A and B are shown apart, each in its own frame.
Chain A
Amino acid sequence: MNLHEYQAKEILAKYGIPVPPGKIAFTADEAKQIASEYGDLVVIKAQVHTGGRGKAGGVKLARTPEEAREKAAQILGLNINGFITKKVLVAKGLHIAKEYYAGMILDRVSQRVVLMLSKEGGVDIEEVAAARPHALIKYPIDPHKGLRPFEARELVKRAGMEGNLNKLADVLVKLYQAYVGIDASTAEINPLVITDSGEVVAADAKIVLDDNALYRHPDLTPLREFEAEHPLEVEASNYGFSYVKLDGNIGVIGNGAGLVMYTLDLVQRCGGKAANFLDIGGGAKADIVYNALKVVLKDPDVKGVFINIFGGITRADEVAKGVIRALDEGLLTKPVAMRVAGTAEEEAKALLKGRPVYMYPTSVEAAKAIISMTGGTK
């Protein structure tokens, strides 16, 4: 689950990391009001779940409350990578001397949380990593010991960061405490600013939470914003499906993430494009298949559906029953190509015999068929 910058900063502040004072505004007038409270330079930042806000015009400075109102009016409603800006953070401006980078991510190779540190902050860190790998320090943290202050100090020195060593090291130690405390999967401060007066401040922050651990953070669960997600993804998650909206026109339903991924690959190999990823999971009954069809067919981009089932614990006849229910209720307004194999395959075929559903013996044939039924290859 992605958090907004202002939510991430609230969490960091709770763990003792200095952040600039800031408040959320939903209207330009509110932004003006907040700016007049601060009475100084403010920065107005779009709060959207996407990167590249600066380049898209979603971050602006304002020197007066009136200017803050104008700039907020420009940013509110702005479309940034498909996300409409509905709120802005109005934060007190900083007098920046240096911009650094500090981040923590889960690293699969070391199987640990890795601290990343660079004195080249305030820019896209992936670009720094690609262009100058030595400018980015990576340090795997022992999960049983945590990040100790002496390690943090050594890392600050290694990164060549200037400024108050103890304050910088303290931010790193607290960032790790926050990471573990909220079960994050990513926690980044970029830039980590040294001000003219030598203060160390998290000027921007990004936190992604581990969905698997949300159950133990009931205080963080309400931060999920359904309007920031695709409505079909929200509906699918309410049914317990793993669903990802994609940009093609063939709806895909399958059982098992690996098989669904494979099905998407096949559609692409055969010249088509999938409209979604939908995994009905293991052991699905007829009503689950019916609900899956309902979600997929709600997508106006979908011109046809490809159901690919390998029966193991999932019984193919249950899948067939779900499809028949959708047929009987007139839900199947688009062509459906199916391929079922494995447990109860013959029963499924018998149930679907004579029904207006196209059955194919192999995944490849089903993929080719649904592509030609939906307008052919592009």
Chain B
Amino acid sequence: MSILVNKDTQVIVQGITGREGAFHTEAMMKAGTKVVAGVTPGKGGQTMLGVPVYDTVKEATKHHRVDASIIFVPAPAAADAALEAAHAGVPLVVLITEGIPTLDMVKAVAEIKAMQNVRLIGGNCPGLITPEECKLGIMPASVFKKGRVGLISRSGTVTYETAKALSDAGYGISTCIGIGGDPIIGTTFKDLLPLFNEDPETHAVVLCGEIGGSDEEDAAAYVKEHMKKPVVGFIGGRSAPKGKKMGHAGAIIMGSVGTPESKLAAFAEANIPVADTIDDIVELVRAKLG
């Protein structure tokens, strides 16, 4: 078991004929992902990496069972691509694209959240992976070993390091989700915690948060009230100065919102131990799982 994706998940790639789209489609296929089709408007009828390309997501869903779509469309058209997938009835939409205009995301997220049965992950995210079954993202699959820790993160490279450390230590990953570094994203920590809570193969959850916003605080409130499994936390950007955007558009401290102090206090309140280094994450998981 795992959450959101597994070995049976059938995937389409929006933007499959672009440089990024083609590169990562090949990598996903190598990792075992069942890519069944691609979509690029105006390139319908072509074949790419052995799968058919359609003009629209609707055409793809007519010919295939589509469980998820992953989007590599350039930023100006990315939010529209996500809406296209949602309206075609694709239940899981993963938006990898970076640099999407914020107000495009405000509209798209509002519209998609109002729909039932569609989950948007990202944008500006590395995607998700259930190791050795389905990679729906751009992470290096080699560092993820199948296992029993659920991992949710706002960052890319920190996620990969954490996954590698947990895999090397023998715990492995049930499912890992990079939710994205932008201020407006489709899925936050607290949306995913209930799924891990119900997944029998996830024995513990690691939350890799960072400065900015209050998603970590919301997650801590959920953990305190509902979580049946141990949770370990991490906060990146603890040394960052106020008001400076640290790479991720969402990693910025505005006034008293988004500070590491607020996040650490919320984690402490929910009895979530916080790791100071990535190696410490493993030690804290070990303390919980033995």
Enumerate chain A interface residues (CB-CB to B < 8 A).
106, 108-109, 111-113, 126, 129-130, 142-144, 180, 183, 185, 210-213, 215-216, 242, 244, 246, 254-262, 264-269, 274, 277, 279, 282, 310-313, 341-343, 362-364
Contacts and interface: CB of A to CB of B under 8 A. Distances in A.
Interface stretch (B35-43, B219-227, B274-282): B274-282
Given A111-B106, A265-B237, A244 B246 contact: yes
B154 interface: yes
A265 B143 CA distance: 24
B138 A258 contact: no
A280 B239 CA distance: 20
Contacts of A213: 101-104
B202 interface: no
Interface residues of B, number: 60
B103 A256 contact: no
Contacts, number: 157
6 contacts: A130-B256, A210-B103, A213-B101, A216-B101, A258-B159, A259-B156
A264 B240 contact: yes
B238 interface: yes
A113 B153 CA distance: 25
A284 to B, nearest CB: 12
Contacts of B241: 246
Interface string B66-106: 00000000011000000000000000000000011111101
A213 B104 CA distance: 9
Contact of A244 (B160, B244, B279): B244
B107 interface: yes
Interface string B145-168: 000000001111111110010000
Contact of A259 (B76, B158, B245, B255): B158
A135 to B, nearest CB: 16
Interface in B99-119: 99-104, 106-107, 109-111, 113
Nearest to B238: A265
Contacts of B164: 341-342
B236 A258 contact: yes
Nearest to A259: B157
Nearest to A269: B276
Nearest to B104: A213
A274 B239 contact: yes
Given A259-B157, A268-B238, 10 more contacts: A106-B183, A106-B184, A129-B255, A183-B102, A215-B76, A259-B161, A264-B246, A269-B277, A312-B139, A313-B138
B236 A144 contact: no
A265 B236 contact: yes
A209 B245 CA distance: 14
